[in-house]
Amino acid sequence: MIANLAKMRTANKLIEFPAWIEQFLEIVTKLLKTDDISPRAIGILLLTGDSGIEEWIESKFGPGMLEQLKDLAQEYRKEEQASCSILFANLYNKKAEQIINAVQKVEPPIKNPFLMKFGDWCTQLSTGVPIAIAALYIMYLFIGSFGATLLVDTINGVIFEGYLIPWTTKLVSPIPSAFIRDMVVDPDFGILPTGVFLALGLVLPVLFCFYFAFGILEDSGYLSRLSILLDKVFQKMGLNGKGVIPLVMGFSCVTMAILTTRMLDTEKEKNIATFLLLLGMPCAPLLAVMFIILGKMPLSASITVFGLIFSQIIIAGMIVNKILPGRRIPLLMEIPPMRLPKPLQILKMSAAKTYFFMKEAVPVFIMASLVVFLFERMGGLAALERAAEPVIHGFMGLPVKSVQVFIKTLIRRESGATEIEHLSSIYDNVQLVVNLLVMTFLTPCMNAIIVLFKERGSRAAIAIMSTVMIYAILIGSMVNYTCRLLGVTFS
């Protein structure tokens, strides 16, 4: 957009003022000889009684000139019965409308009888709930089975394991320093295997599938109807149906979703939505890796993970609604017409979103891998593992190496997610389920934390973060002990 500013064109026909205004502006132009502000602009502001321009005239030309112009403006204003401010607003709006009509073509929405009926079904409880479940299942098949299994296995097996990893290992082998070689290609902590290749091989394909599926739901007009369907449920959590949008956006990016809480009407609603986003929303990259890991396990593992995530969001929302003071605003929102999505447009938008995300995320993946590599070589990782062992291993039953997963999670959520996939061989299935839940409930990446403090303030941010971190440890421990007690293995 900025690059096109040089190509701006002046309208073929500027606004035509009534004759008495033009006459007044000509007089002002003759009286005021200045290059600071256009005399015509000064005249228009004088007619509207702008106090700022009156002060400027007095300081620039003296009180005598100001009084003369004010009297002149008062005399000419008698030509117009309505307020000059209203007159100018009408003239400008009319001209703006002419410009819009000249450059913009509006196509009325096609009223497809079936789509209109289907849109009504989406908002009714008896038909809307089955449609919502079907939509979620189709998304799971597309993102989980196609993206997280077929695409990821193909890209990793053919491109990375078949060509790139052997090629880069051979490329750095002449480097005399073992430290430098390990920093680049070490399979556990190297920048390329754990930073670049995991990001491109795991996150990128599933993230693109997610953005494409989410774009279809958004472009079709279904998300607004989902807001209506879930309005009564969200009322129990101190929100209205508009709260669906930030929470659904949390499946894309928690940081972005926190910013979208601005659309909510009251401070209570914003705090509740932010708390729920931080407590239990797996962002798209984390969701991508969750699909990959859970796809190799029985369906019961997926039901446990996502069942706990969704149920605790509802329960936590109800509890926070009772605790926080304030009120909820009834749902008022515009409902767009239901329409068939445009796949090509969504495809381009999904590619653009994926590109910009990876452009920002890959350097963070590299930084996280470098931090953990240096921390491990200095002995810090081993010391931290020993210090955290009572909580990590004792309470939650996780391998002590999970410390490096949580370190990367705090730097960037998807970086920690790829790390757990990298270390998955040292976990059993129960530990994988516990770790995925803890990562979901744990405080998200640094970007989200910064935005949290900016949007909600220090007091609310610290309270939310403390509650979420303690809850993550408790839920992880509870799931671990419950599974071990009941003999659940997810195998």
Give the Cβ contact number of residue 201 at 10 Å.
24
**Same structural domain, 99 and 152:** no
Give the list of residues 6+ apart from residue 245 with CB closer than 8 angstroms, or none: 223, 227, 260, 263
In the listed set 79, 103, 127, which residue is the last one of a domain according to the structure?
A: 103
Assess if residue 43 is contained within a domain.
yes
Token pair 């060509």 in the structure block, residue: 163
Residues 285/361, Cβ–Cβ less than 8 Å:
yes
Assess if residue 8 is contained within a domain.
no
Supply the pLDDT for residue 92: 82
Looking at mean pLDDT, say which of 143-152, 205-214, 448-457 comes out highest: 205-214
Which CATH number characterizes residue 27's domain?
1.10.287.1770
Assess if residue 217 is contained within a domain.
yes
**Same structural domain, 185 and 304:** yes
Cα 19 off chain centre by: 52
Nearest alpha carbon to residue 140 among 59, 55, 206: 206
**Same structural domain, 67 and 180:** no
**Same structural domain, 400 and 441:** yes
Assess if residue 295 is contained within a domain.
yes
Distance CA 472, CA 329 (A): 31
**Same structural domain, 214 and 362:** yes
Rg (CA), the chain: 30
In the listed set 103, 130, 154, which residue is the last one of a domain according to the structure?
A: 103
For residue 459, give both structure tokens. 């007091």
Assess if residue 177 is contained within a domain.
yes
**Same structural domain, 88 and 145:** no
Read off the amino acid at residue 214.
F
Number of separate domains in the chain: 2
- pLDDT tens for residues 129-155? 898 888 878 877 787 667 766 787 788
- pLDDT tens for residues 294-322? 888 888 888 888 888 888 888 888 888 88
Assess if residue 353 is contained within a domain.
yes
Distance CA 410, CA 447 (A): 9
Distance CA 263, CA 394 (A): 43
Distance CA 122, CA 453 (A): 37
**Same structural domain, 223 and 325:** yes
Q: pTM value?
A: 0.56
Residue 326 falls in which region: left (phi positive, over 0), alpha (psi -120 to 50) or beta: left
**Same structural domain, 451 and 367:** yes
- pLDDT tens for residues 224-247? 888 888 888 888 888 877 777 777
Assess if residue 429 is contained within a domain.
yes
**Same structural domain, 54 and 166:** no
In the listed set 55, 71, 103, which residue is the last one of a domain according to the structure?
A: 103
- Which residue segment(s) compose the domain that 322 sits in? 119-486
